[in-house]
Amino acid sequence: MSPATLRDRIGYAFQEPALLARALTHRSHGAAHNERLEFVGDAVLNCVVAAALYRRLRDLPEGDLSRLRANLVNRDTLAQLARQIGLGALLRVGEGERRGGGGERPSIVADALEAVFGAVFLDGGYDAARAAIERVYGDLLAEADPEILGKDPKTRLQEWLQARRLAVPEYVVAGVTGVAHAQTFAVHCRIPALGIETAGTGSSRRIAEQAAAELAHARLAGADGGSADV
């Protein structure tokens, strides 16, 4: 992917391209890395998401707003969005980090996306950063559901089962591949009472468990007429 493609995907053209270059540089590549921009981007992202939730969910109390915001700005969500816009292909990382797949590691791509938001803010101001964030987040932000978004897949699945007096799922690690700093975990989610078993993968056991739980929850939704809500 080219920087021009990234420009189209975030909806912003930099007046100072060096800021974007820095945002896309991991500390393993050199001293002019993106951590300071990440610091700025984190603050701007939290502000934009908080304001959007405040405007859209007018009756939701502060605690629930905080829970929703935390879910939208966490590392997993940022990494997912970074992959969707192809950010990993543009990152500059050190040779050792690249050999280990560092350009696609969730923590690295998530931090880089925050750094890009920070760079947009410094280059074009708050309105430009807000527009870029809202463009990248798209429907994820516009359609945030307070009944679902603050609960991760494992929690939703467990609550569905407990509401029907069924045992909580079993999670079993089926395998781990890759080098120590770039591993991929495979986990099975089993619900013996319903004869359901799903498999998920991820860069950590927790992420793989969440992926497997998401598949199990979706299967229950299909069997339940399209809704697996408690």
Per-residue model confidence (pLDDT) at position 229: 52
Chain segment 42-98, per-residue pLDDT in tens: 999 999 999 999 999 988 899 889 988 988 999 888 988 998 899 988 999 887 667
Per-residue model confidence (pLDDT) at position 2: 66
42 in catalytic set: yes
Which positions of the chain have pLDDT values less than 50?
226, 230
Per-residue model confidence (pLDDT) at position 103: 64
139 in catalytic set: no
Indicate the length of the chain as a whole number: 230
Instruction: List the one residue out of 206, 213, 212 whose CA is nearest residue 228.
Output: 213
Antiparallel, parallel or unpaired: β 184-191 and 196-202: antiparallel
Residues sharing a CB contact under 8 Å with residue 204, sequence separation 6 or more, in sequence order: 183, 185
Q: State the amino acid at position 171 in one-letter form.
A: Y
Residue 110's Cβ-count burial label (10 Å; 0-12, 13-18, 19+) is: buried
Of 42, 76, 159, 197, catalytic:
42
- Sorted by where each starts, the structural domains of the chain and their CATH numbers stand as 3-142 (1.10.1520.10), 153-223 (3.30.160.20)
Ranges of beta strands (E only) in 152-209 are 170-177, 184-191, 196-202
Per-residue model confidence (pLDDT) at position 230: 47
Task: Please list the alpha-helical segments (H only) found in the chain.
Answer: 3-10, 17-23, 35-56, 62-73, 75-84, 95-99, 106-124, 126-137, 139-142, 153-163, 205-223
Of 97, 104, 111, 114, catalytic:
114
